[in-house]
Amino acid sequence: MTIGKFIIYILLSVALLPSPACTKKDAGWQPTDSIGKINKWVYDSMAMYYYWSADMPPHPDYSLPTEQFFKQLLSPNDRFSWISNRTTIGATKTAAETYGFYYSFTIHPFDQQKLIGVITSVIPGSNANNRGLKRGMLFSAVNDRPITVDNKKATKEALQAAAATLQLAAFNTDRSALVDSARIGVQSAIVPQKSVYATHVFENNGKKTGYLAYYLCAEKDDAVMLQSIQKLQQQGVTEFILDLRYNPGGSVASATKLAALLTSNFNAGNKFITYRGNKHGGTVVQTFQQAISFSSNAAGKSMSDLQAWNLNLSRVYILTSAETASAAELLTHNLEPYTNVVRIGEITLGKDEASFPIEDQRNPRQVAWVIMPIVYKIADANGKGDYATGLTPHHAVVETSKLPLAPIGKPGDLPVDKAFMLIYGTTAVSVTVL
């Protein structure tokens, strides 16, 4: 998964699944028109791979436009499957995918009938970054429309369009009012990938805590992630804060590499992931080594290589938000059988599911569409999963409850402060930036 799309899915190898076979519910029937042929390919593909294939309608309307046809096959429990014609139709994008910034809504400090937008993270090199947006900035309107509870959904949709205009706002000198300032336009553009945002060491009374802001499970950055862990190990950290607040997921292999570095029970043969599919996919269990073997990056691809960098932690503090999803949730959830995980922050997105793209493999290709259906439900080594409603924090902290926002990963950043209190009993720590 690339940060340029921020598509929330977990990419699995097709090798995990059996070869396609005839699964047509309308046995013997073959369409003759072009739309019918496309839709039949869609149906047969979904019948083979889709997690909820047993719930698909047995006799769908093959005359419907393909996007509409696909939607009638989906389970009411499905929030993430999508289909693309490679041009205008595809997955719905977030503001992070489109412009390069994350945001949250909170009650307007001086008008309970309104909301205020808070920019929580900006991706370096993105259009939002280039337009001058920064963490902690506030906006009171989108496309000149003030944000309210009633139009919250419409505002989110406006921030998924090809372009949008933010009305920035700021506290006045004595913080007695929030006043509008500049209007900033943002546009859809390629959003560059970046996994490691910060590596710090916090210290109080000789006790050292490592901190890693890891905001994408991207295989291309595995070496950078491993170097960060190695630096923290060399500093002699005995506690660890893993910040996944703005991590939308990505590579399972990368997430597994990081999990292996944090566990107190390091063993290549330990089970890490359980995938549950439909009657064709069955159940697939992967060990740590099996999961990382799918990586395209040689860095840390062997558990024997990772062992030297293992931090051997008895507990890990993981910071989460509603943006924490997919492989980041898997890392958080599946690490629990091997070390004590303390979650701090907000409920995660709740994508306990895995997908991979399905394309027409015939030569020449007869169907141009690409399907990204949910194929598996994810569980841990013990078969425990079912977190579609999100992972609930052990310590609930809403970082936007105190404005202005502090820099990410520094004292004053509320979820980080909570971790400090749990580790040290105080927020008075020294900070070393690595």
Question: How does DSSP classify residue 161?
Answer: S
In contact, 232 and 434? CB cutoff 8 Å: yes
Q: Are residues 321 and 229 in the same domain?
A: yes
What is the rounded distance in angstroms from the CA atom of residue 238 to the CA atom of residue 103? 33
What is the pTM (predicted TM-score) of this model? 0.91
pLDDT, average across residues 88-105: 93
Q: Are residues 127 and 152 in the same domain?
A: yes
Q: Are residues 308 and 263 in the same domain?
A: yes
> Does 288 fall in a domain?
yes
> Does 405 fall in a domain?
yes
User: Which of 163, 187, 211 is the last residue before a domain boundary?
Assistant: 187
The per-residue pLDDT for range 136-174, each reduced to its tens digit, is 999 999 999 999 999 999 999 999 999 999 999 999 999
> Does 59 fall in a domain?
no
The per-residue pLDDT for range 381-391, each reduced to its tens digit, is 999 999 999 99
Find the helix or strand (DSSP H, E) in which 35 lies.
helix 34-49
Alpha-carbon 328 to chain mean position = 6
What is the rounded distance in angstroms from the CA atom of residue 257 to the CA atom of residue 254? 5
Give me the CATH number covering residue 282: 3.90.226.10
In contact, 141 and 147? CB cutoff 8 Å: yes
Tracing tokens 């890392």 back to the chain, one arrives at 331
The total of other beta-carbon atoms located within 10 Å of residue 22's CB is 8
- Determine phi and psi for 220, rounding to 5 degrees: -65, -20
The per-residue pLDDT for range 12-26, each reduced to its tens digit, is 333 333 334 344 445
The residues near 334 (Cβ < 8 Å, ≥ 6 apart) are 259, 272, 273, 378, 380, 381
- Rounded to whole angstroms, the maximal C-alpha distance in the chain is 76
User: Which of 131, 157, 187 is the last residue before a domain boundary?
Assistant: 187
What is the rounded distance in angstroms from the CA atom of residue 73 to the CA atom of residue 50? 10
Q: Are residues 150 and 299 in the same domain?
A: no
Bridge partners of residue 379, in order along the sequence: 274, 385
> Does 413 fall in a domain?
yes
Domain that holds residue 182: 95-187
Give me the CATH number covering residue 100: 2.30.42.10
The total of other beta-carbon atoms located within 10 Å of residue 152's CB is 12
What is the rounded distance in angstroms from the CA atom of residue 107 to the CA atom of residue 118? 10
